[in-house]
Amino acid sequence: MSKLNFSTKWIYFLTTLPAVALFYRAFSGRLGVDPVKKLEHELGLLTIQLLILTLLISPIRDLFKVSLIKYRRSLGVMTFFYAFSHFSVWMLFDIQLLWDELIADIFRRPYISFGFLSFVGIIPLAITSNNISIKKMGVKIIWLMPINPISTTKSKGPLGSYYAVSDYTKVNPEFGTLEDFKFLVDKAHKLGMYVILDWVPGHTGWDHLWINEHSDYYLKNRKGDIIDPIDFRTGKSFGWTDEADLDYNNMEMREDLRKAMIYWVNEANIDGYRIEQAYAIPKEFYDKTFAALREIKPVFLLAETDIYHPGGLDLISKFDASYDWPGHNLSKEVAKGKKNAFDYSRHINMTLRRYGQENIVVNFVSNHDENSWNGTIEESYGKAGHAFMAMNFTTPGMPLIYSGQEYDLNKRLHFFEKDSFPKIKGKTIKLLQQLGALKNNHKALESGPGGGSFKRLTTTKDYQVFAFERGKDGDTLIVMANLSKDYTQFTMSYDGTFKRYQDFKTKRLSSSYQYDMKPWEFWILIKE
């Protein structure tokens, strides 16, 4: 795969030159007898040419093995620039801001109608194609599900499973090339974000090179046949028949897998891994592998496990973070009225005691497994979804935003076939932007050892209301949430003046004051 390495600044410079030349000719009287029409025509033509060039980047990559992906955004921005210039010339010089004439022209001439609709459609793309929009949700770490090629042998569904890896050191061609991935990582770093890869150390797909060349790398039955993964709880197959189970008694296999993990840090400069089924892998493998990775650079390591899985806290302590599955399951029960706010607050305190501040728990309302197998956020939480998103950001730990959650995703995505969701901004993205900024701007909400203290506050309705204080270095926040489907009134022994984060209204807390909260309502209060 070849690539072009000149700076994107050259794209902006070179694509701006035609506009400079064109406007110079226009204002110096060198565009003929009807300069406005000529200017409109030339700007429209340049818009179409740039749009076609932008759309051709992927086909060029696939047909000629030339990666131009790093230039797509700059070409898209310049396409919008020319479209906007074309529209402005038409508005200012052709119809001269006569709005009735504008409307009539749009409906009278089909090509203008098409052009106007295209211009309106490209505006959101231009607005969101900037660093500010990407960073607005406060995202620090991008976790990508496996980007490796998918095995087709024994595949499930038309697509197969991302977790049936056929090559640990290759990129799935449906996603692009290695150069495309490197560009993504580099762009994320420039935005102050990190990229971690989902890693599948326990099993491969049946197309993997090791199947034929190193069959001793795999677990086998008494007949000598390679087996699919076994459920440690039952001793029976998980039913993941599209995957072949690796044998960790083979030291050579461990070393090859370790080299593959080192490869992505060295080659693509990734920032760590999310380890699939971390509890199923011998801890000794992590000791040597993680040490090797950290010799290259600091890496972030997320374990798909919790304290109740095999290995417990000893395993979790080898990682930077692990999942709060018990908290997630409990929050769904609270949302459905099977458990209450007191149960939830007790879980938070118990988690802090068992894990300690230094072991980060990842809080979530959804992820790829939850969405595909157990239901959407709406199915799981009903009207309580936003309340528990707020809990994920304000209680100790690290919040996880699953792809599509920000767009109010309300469909189960197919796991073994291609699927999509509408990218229509609703209420959730605004909430996540608020919560992201809140967490990033307050020491009290930092994750890990540097985070603030947590103190549950007693109310007269502890079975409905979850209230707590977070504090560090004079930064104090109070969170109050009605975690029930019923309206509630309560009092709380706490005094102070705060700003409510959602609307920056002043709220005075008093031990003598009676609070009213609607079902699933929450307040985030910042001490003045």
pLDDT in tens, 268-326: 999 999 999 999 999 999 999 999 999 999 999 999 999 999 999 999 999 999 999 99
The pLDDT score that the predictor gives to residue 349 is: 95
* Geometric angle at alpha carbon 495, from 490 and 499, rounded to 5°: 90
- Helix-strand-coil split of the chain, %, nearest 5: 45, 15, 35
Q: What is the band of 52 on the pLDDT scale with cuts at 50, 70, 90?
A: confident
Asked whether residue 128 carries a pLDDT value surpassing 80, the answer given is no
The pLDDT score that the predictor gives to residue 339 is: 98
pTM for the model stands at 0.81
**H helix intervals, 338-394:** 341-355, 368-369, 377-381, 385-394
Query: Mean pLDDT for the chain?
Result: 88
Q: Taking residues 170-176, report their average pLDDT.
A: 90
Phi, psi of 472 (to 5 degrees): -165, 130
The CATH code that applies to domain 137-323 is: 3.20.20.80
The pLDDT score that the predictor gives to residue 189 is: 92
- The neighbour count for residue 336, using CB atoms within 10 Å, is 13
The CA R_g of the chain, rounded to the nearest whole Å, is: 28
For the stretch 390-401, pLDDT in tens is: 999 999 999 999
Q: Which CATH architecture has domain 454-527?
A: Sandwich (2.60)
Maximum average pLDDT range among 34-48, 57-71, 411-425, 510-524: 510-524
More confident residue, 129 or 231: 231
Contact present, 475 and 442 (Cβ < 8 Å):
yes
For the stretch 208-219, pLDDT in tens is: 999 999 999 999
For the stretch 402-461, pLDDT in tens is: 988 998 999 999 999 988 887 777 889 999 999 999 999 999 999 988 889 999 999 999
Q: Taking residues 45-52, report their average pLDDT.
A: 82
> In sequence order, which residues have a C-beta less than 8 Å from that of residue 1 and are 6 or more positions away?
65, 66, 67, 177, 178, 179
Q: What is the band of 97 on the pLDDT scale with cuts at 50, 70, 90?
A: low
Asked whether residue 147 carries a pLDDT value surpassing 90, the answer given is yes
Contact present, 453 and 470 (Cβ < 8 Å):
yes
Asked whether residue 131 carries a pLDDT value surpassing 70, the answer given is no
The pLDDT score that the predictor gives to residue 61 is: 67
For the stretch 496-517, pLDDT in tens is: 999 999 888 999 999 999 999 9
Angle of the 385-394 helix axis to the 427-441 helix axis, nearest 10? 10
The pLDDT score that the predictor gives to residue 211 is: 97
The pLDDT score that the predictor gives to residue 376 is: 96
Q: What is the band of 127 on the pLDDT scale with cuts at 50, 70, 90?
A: very low
Please give the C-alpha separations between residue 263 and each of 83, 213, 269, 282, 296, in angstroms, as whole numbers: 43, 20, 9, 21, 11
Q: What is the band of 135 on the pLDDT scale with cuts at 50, 70, 90?
A: low
The pLDDT score that the predictor gives to residue 116 is: 43
pLDDT > 70: percent of the chain: 88
The pLDDT score that the predictor gives to residue 118 is: 47
For the stretch 327-350, pLDDT in tens is: 999 999 999 999 999 999 999 999
Asked whether residue 522 carries a pLDDT value surpassing 80, the answer given is yes
Q: What are the extents of the domains in the chain?
A: 2-129, 137-323, 454-527
The pLDDT score that the predictor gives to residue 112 is: 43
DSSP 374: I
Q: Taking residues 51-73, report their average pLDDT.
A: 73
Q: Encoding tokens for residue 518?
A: 């609607």
